[in-house]
Amino acid sequence: MGALDGIKVVDLSRVLAGPFCGQLLAENGADVIKIEGPEGDLNRAFPHVLGDGDSTNFRSVNRGKRDITLNLKSKKARDLLDRLLADADILIQSFLPPVAEKLGVGWDRIHRDFPDLIYVSISGYGAEGPLSNKPGYDTMVAAYSGVMSLTGEPDRPPVRLGVTAIDLATGMLAYGGVTTALMARERGRARGQRVNVSLLETGVTLLGFHGVGYLTTGEVDRREGAGYETLSPYGAYRAKDGEIMIGAPTQTMWLKACKALGMEELVDDPRFTTNVLRCEHREELRTEIELRLSTSTVADWVEKLEQAGVANSPINTVDRVLTDPQTLANHMVVNCAAADGSIQRLLGLPFKLTGTPGNPGSAPPRQGQHNRDVFCGDLGLSLEELEQLETEGAI
């Protein structure tokens, strides 16, 4: 039994953030009904496109859901949506405010008609302010929020993050917000309430100590590449067959690193006796370390540094981490069955509960795959009524 068994979710959101929130809810037992317009979720057409309305983007955030189509420009479709909302616990939507109002899914109307429904609103730049109606995209908001200014090498232009961290983190925060709202409702502290989450607020939150540092000192941190300006050695170093991360943030660990690398002579080198001096002579130290690392493989150095208790990691590529024994031991690659009987290999659940373990569920659905199941099974429509709705373009 999942922690959210019995919870019904209507998911109107698109692309990544909202659907990821919906997927997390589904993985923990909620019945998530994904609703797509006739044009389908934009994410179905984002790379890598697999054909037939499928893509790796879509697969990454939509498993475990039922999928139906509704053309919310149609009054009959909006009436069907209200019937679904009548016994739902959560609505997730990511429309711009004017669009939400036009389609009849704005907060005021929904809260009036369904006062116990938890309403999750995901936006680009927040519910308030001059940009509240501006569309948000992961990379653009990473730039706007300051996150991109901290990403890359110090002497090079900023670069985008290698993963869609803003979108996915927003989905996680939406999940945290909605489960908090469920708890408040369960304890009688609120009825349905609005959960506002945005890519911008996520990005600002991710600034973490960089943001607090500016608020405290007035100093603006700059890009530091793979390391830290205030620590040395700390960063990516080249070995014989690849790169390895090595970190020695304390004097004790510096001494251990010298021993593990077989470079005890550096301990008394006047250029490197303190962290401050090592930072001043950072490039000279890098040259010394990489000369030594070039004599052996990453795997060999990882073993030596592990034995010495020095912070380190190979810089894995995606293929390596997804076949790594540690990744597999934590069930971060799972097999999900698709409607056609095929098996899709997808990423595992990001957190595990011991008493109410989650379940990855079925593979992401085809567009409209569950129309008959939901409209006829849940809402009691006849096949003739379903065909008429299709003919009229309501679904």
pLDDT, residue 51, reads 83
The low-confidence residues of the chain, meaning pLDDT below 70, are: none
63 and 145 co-located in one domain: yes
Residue 78 counted as domain residue = yes
The separation between CA 208 and the C-alpha centre of its own chain, rounded to angstroms, equals: 17
pLDDT, residue 30, reads 98
369 and 276 co-located in one domain: no
296 and 148 co-located in one domain: no
Residue 3 counted as domain residue = no
pLDDT, residue 40, reads 93
Domain interval for residue 270: 234-315
Residue 322 counted as domain residue = no
What is the pTM assigned to this prediction? 0.95
**Domain with 254 in it: what CATH number?**
3.30.1540.10
Q: pLDDT digits over 292-316, tens only?
A: 999 999 999 999 999 999 999 999 9
115 and 175 co-located in one domain: yes
Q: Residues 383, 395: contact at Cβ < 8 Å?
A: no
170 and 290 co-located in one domain: no
157 and 41 co-located in one domain: yes
Q: Among 315, 343, 372, which residue terminates a domain?
A: 315
29 and 159 co-located in one domain: yes
**Domain with 363 in it: what CATH number?**
3.40.50.10540
197 and 308 co-located in one domain: no
Q: Among 289, 315, 341, which residue terminates a domain?
A: 315
| Axis-axis angle for helices 17-27, 165-186 (nearest 10) | 50
Residue 292 counted as domain residue = yes
Instruction: Count up the domains in the chain and report the number.
Output: 2
Residue 212 counted as domain residue = no
260 and 300 co-located in one domain: yes
185 and 62 co-located in one domain: yes
Q: pLDDT digits over 97-134, tens only?
A: 999 999 999 999 999 999 999 999 999 999 999 999 99
Q: Among 285, 315, 345, which residue terminates a domain?
A: 315
Residue 321 counted as domain residue = no
275 and 382 co-located in one domain: no
